[in-house]
A = this chain, B = another copy of it.
Amino acid sequence: MARQERALRTRNALIESAAELFDRDGFETASLATISARAGVSNGALHFHFASKAALAEAVREAAAQRLARITDGGAERGDGGALQMLIDTSHALVRGFGQDVVLRAGFDLGDGRGSTGTGADLCTRWRDWVEAAFARAAREGALAPDASARDATLAVVGAVAGFKALGGRDPEWLSPDTLTRFWSLLLPRVAQELTLGGLVAAGTAAGKEALWF
Q: Which A residues are within 8 Å of any B CB, using their own CB?
A: 25-26, 28-29, 111-113, 122, 124, 147-149, 151-153, 155-156, 158-167, 169-170, 174, 179, 182-183, 185-187, 189-191
Q: List 8 A-B contacts (CB under 8 A).
A: A26-B28, A28-B28, A152-B183, A155-B182, A160-B160, A162-B162, A162-B167, A163-B164
Q: Are A166 and B169 in contact (CB under 8 A)?
A: no
Instruction: For A25, give the chain B residue with the smallest CB separation.
Output: B28
B residues near A191, Cβ cutoff 8 Å: 186
B residues near A163, Cβ cutoff 8 Å: 158-166
* Shortest beta-carbon distance from A121 to chain B in Å: 11
- Given A29-B28, A182-B151, answer yes or no on A160-B167 (Cβ-Cβ < 8 Å): no
Q: Are B185 and A187 in contact (CB under 8 A)?
A: no
Instruction: For A153, give the chain B residue with the smallest CB separation.
Output: B186
* Shortest beta-carbon distance from A108 to chain B in Å: 9
A153–B179 CA distance with the chains assembled, in angstroms: 11
B residues near A186, Cβ cutoff 8 Å: 148-149, 152-153, 155-156, 187, 190-191
A169–B163 CA distance with the chains assembled, in angstroms: 13
Most buried by B among A124, A151, A162, A174: A162
- Given A29-B28, A155-B182, answer yes or no on A113-B170 (Cβ-Cβ < 8 Å): yes
